[in-house]
Each structure stands twice: as C-alpha cells, then as structure tokens.
Structure 1
Amino acid sequence: MKNTILYLFIFSLLINIFQYVNSNKILDAKEQQILNSKKYLKISRDSLKSFSENNSFDLKNNDYAQEYFYNKGMDYNKIIEKVNNDINALNANKAGNPLIPYDMIDGKAFLVSRIKMVNHRWVIAEFSNGKIWGEVLLKYFIVGDKPTEFETIDTVLFEATL
C-alpha cells in the first residue's frame, strides 16, 4: 500500500511539473504573439498617419481652396472633373500633350497619365511616353464655360531605368 501511495504521489508530481512547463510555454507563446500584434499595429498606424499627411496637398482636403470656389458660386467637384477632362482632351494631340514642353522621343509623344489637383490654382500631373516618365506643375484658370486655361510652371523628367 505504501508503494502505491508513493507511486501515485510521484505520478501526480510529474503531471504537475508537466502542466507547469506546458503552461509556461503557452503563456510565452501568447505573450510573443501579443508583442508581434502590437508591433504590426504600430506599423499600421504609422503608415496611416503617413498616408493622411500625403493627402494634405489635395483639393478634396483643402478647405481654403474649396472656400475659394464656394465664394465664386462653383462646385469644386465639378471643377476637378472639368480640369481632368480638359487635360485629358489635350492628350488627343498627335504631337503629344501641349502642356508638356518636350518633343517626341523615339517617335513617341508625351501624354498625361495621372492628375492631382493641389488647390484652387495648381495641378500636378504625371506624364510619360511609355519609356520616359516625368511630372509637370501647372497653373490653371477657370474661365466660365470655356476650356480651362493652363500655364506650365515647371517640369521634371526622370531618367529611363531600362
């Protein structure tokens, strides 16, 4: 009988040690999982903050530029659409978009591919001829129902990477 109680005691002690070690491993794994989640959450928050900062130079987020159009009795959403359409209409020119001061390279004309309206006066546009890329800063003027008037302020042309 003594031996049975001794064996049971040793057996229960071993089970308790196993439970303790196993529980510690589970707790450590969960703690590591929480630390990883906090790290990824911080990265996500930082990227969202960066994203929101990058959108600060946008007519859709610029209250002062929107107020400018409101005071003139214009809807800034319609202005955005009009300016986009007018710039894209200039892409129909066979020699390339006239807002881009570069001649054709390798027989390919430069066309505007992306447009971002900064405020009530400036537009940044990305252009390309399929091989070479660049950006142009434009000043624009809305004159009633006439096509938008544009003035090229400056351009930058990136070197071909291929």
Structure 2
Amino acid sequence: MKSKIYLYLFLFVSLICLYLVVSSGNMTKANAETITRLESKVENLKDSLQRSSLKVLDMQYFSLENNDDALAYFEHLNMNNPAAYVADKLLETNAQKGDNPLVPYEGMQNDFKINKIKVLNHKWILTDFSDGKYWGELLIMYELKDDLGVDFTLIDHLLYTQSN
C-alpha cells in the first residue's frame, strides 16, 4: 500500500514537472516574441524621432535664432532675443483702430490683423494676417535701430481667394 502511494505521488509530481516545463517553454517563446515586437517598435520610434528632428531642423533653417551671421547684427544692442522683440513691435501695429497699417487690403468681415510672425533673419519677416474669414501673407523688411525703434516696410503681399 505504501509503495502504491509513493508511485502515485511520483506520477503526480512527474506530471506537475512536465506541465511546468511545457508552460515555461511556452512563456519563454511568448516573451521572446514580445521582446522582438517591442524592439521593432523601438526601432520604428527611433526612426520616426530622427525624421521629426530633421524636419524641425529643416523648419528652423530660416529663423533668426539659428542664424549666427544675422544675430551678429544685434550684438551691439545686448538683446537676449531680438526675434521676440521685433515680433512684439510688429504685433503692436495691430493695436491701432481699424486694419493693420502694414496690410494693404481693407478687411471684408472684420479688420485685417497680423496673426503669426516668422522672423527670417536680420532684415525680413514673414507674417500671416486675417480678418476671421479671409487671410493672406506679407513679406516685410524691418530695421532695428540703436534706440530700439523698429521701422517696417512692406515688400510684398498676397491675399488668398476663398473657394466655397
């Protein structure tokens, strides 16, 4: 009787060991597949991040902040961020009643005001303007003087036609 109990116990333990070996093999395969899948996702994310970084660098190519030659024109003024200063001065032209004086069009829905500003270098600014329904762009030349005054001169403009 005692020997049969040991035999059944041995068979029971053997079955448990077999189950554990098989299930651990399956878990190992599943974990390996998960690791491979996650590694490929990480590689895709690295590629995507690199493409995004290149796009950002490409978009920043025409900006005053990344143009050391253009920034050299402002060294004597001891300004931390000349692009922000010029953009603020340009936005002050929106404060006038009516259309912005730099926009050569009359607002159709409301007054034309400058919305977005991109300071390209030490001489040019690209802006977007709108009246809420119609919009366009301006190319503006500017001069930052020693007394920190800024003169703006409109170089070119366009108004997009609305197609509905």
User: What TM-score range do you get, normalising by the shorter chain?
Assistant: 0.7 to 0.9
1:105 aligns with 2:108: yes
Aligned counterparts of 1:44 and 1:112: Cα–Cα separation in 2 = 33
Pick from 134, 141, 162 the counterpart of residue 139 of structure 1. 141
How many residue pairs are counted as aligned between the two chains?
159
TM-score for both structures, normalised by structure 1? 0.80
2:155 is paired with a residue whose SS is strand
Aligned-pair identity in percent equals 26
Alpha-carbon distance change, 7 to 161 in structure 1, aligned in 2, over 3 angstroms: farther
Pick from 74, 78, 83 the counterpart of residue 75 of structure 1. 78
Structure 1 stretches of 5 or more lacking a match?
A: none
Deviations 1:79-104 (Å, cap 9, x if unpaired)? Answer: 43542233222212323111111112
Shift of 1:112: 0.9
Amino acid at match of 2:17: S
Pick from 46, 53, 57 the counterpart of residue 52 of structure 1. 57
Shift of 1:154: 1.8
TM-score for both structures, normalised by structure 2? 0.80
Aligned alpha-carbon RMSD (Å): 2.6
Shift of 1:125: 1.4
1:152 is paired with a residue whose SS is strand
- Whether contact under 8 Å (1:90, 1:98) holds in the other structure is yes
Alpha-carbon distance change, 146 to 46 in structure 1, aligned in 2, over 3 angstroms: closer
Aligned counterparts of 1:6 and 1:145: Cα–Cα separation in 2 = 96
Structure 2 stretches of 5 or more lacking a match?
A: none
Amino acid at match of 1:127: F
Shift of 1:6: 5.8
